[in-house]
Amino acid sequence: MNKPIRMALTKGRLEKDTVGLLEMLGFDCTAVREKGRKLILPVPDANLEVVLAKANDVITYVEHGVCDMGVVGKDTIMEMKGKFYELVDLGFGKCKFALATKKGYDFYSGYGIKTIATKYPNVARSFFEKKGMDTEIIKIEGSVELAPLLELADGIVDIVETGTTLKENGLEVIEDVAPISARLIANTVSLKMRHAEIDRLITLIEENL
């Protein structure tokens, strides 16, 4: 048997959903479910080796070829970009990027440069460039909702799932930026060298989505 295909999973909910998908395909993921402190975990009947990592690292590992494949959110793909193949929309981890402001604020009026706070400066910049709007982008690491409340920014670009946090802080979505869900990605060389094995796995996944 060939050496296992190494797949990096984004820790947390995407990891759980991917393990659920692999089990639905009939693979034994006991080692992944009972991982303890281990970080590289075998799924022997799928000839897979699962690596658990943070979202940004999943892309780094796949891009550099230390992992053949990865499961990561479209949000991370859009922000980090990179050289890899995006193969399948797995359909779970659904949410969206949205532009939000204080309730009732007329964001699109006037000609001044708007200030946008976000954890995703590349996504925000690309969105407003397509609109032909001049903006100042401020990167925030913590609760981005604070920025309009403190009058640091006119609006925010952030991930929105239910919108509850926005409502509770007097903010509202004024425009959707992009849909987000989990994606299966692959290293460019791995896809050429191990095409048959990867293709078999992709076909199995697509048939069961």
DSSP 3-state of 132: coil
The pTM for the full model equals 0.92
Residue-level pLDDT at 111:
83
Contact in structure between 205 and 184 (CB atoms under 8 Å): yes
Give the CATH number of domain 5-93+181-208: 3.40.190.10
Which residues fall within 8 angstroms of residue 116, CB to CB, at 6 or more apart? 99, 124, 128, 135, 136, 137, 138, 153, 154, 155, 156, 157
* Interior angle at CA 7, CA 5 and CA 11, nearest 5: 160
Averaged over successive runs of 10 residues, the pLDDT of the chain (209 residues) comes to: 91 96 96 92 94 97 98 97 95 96 93 95 97 96 96 97 94 97 98 95 91
- Domain ranges (residues) in the chain: 5-93+181-208, 95-179
Identify the three-state secondary structure at position 175: strand
pLDDT for the residue numbered 29: 96
The reported pLDDT for the residue numbered 18 is 97
**How is residue 175 written in tokens?**
């425009």
The top-level CATH class assigned to 95-179 is: alpha beta
Q: Cα torsion for 168, 73, 96, 176, to the nearest 10°?
A: 130
Structural Rg of the chain based on CA atoms: 20
Q: Report the pLDDT value the prediction gives residue 209, as an integer from 0 to 100.
A: 82
CA dihedral of 168, 174, 177, 181, whole degrees rounded to 10: 40
- Topology agreement, domain 5-93+181-208 and domain 95-179: yes
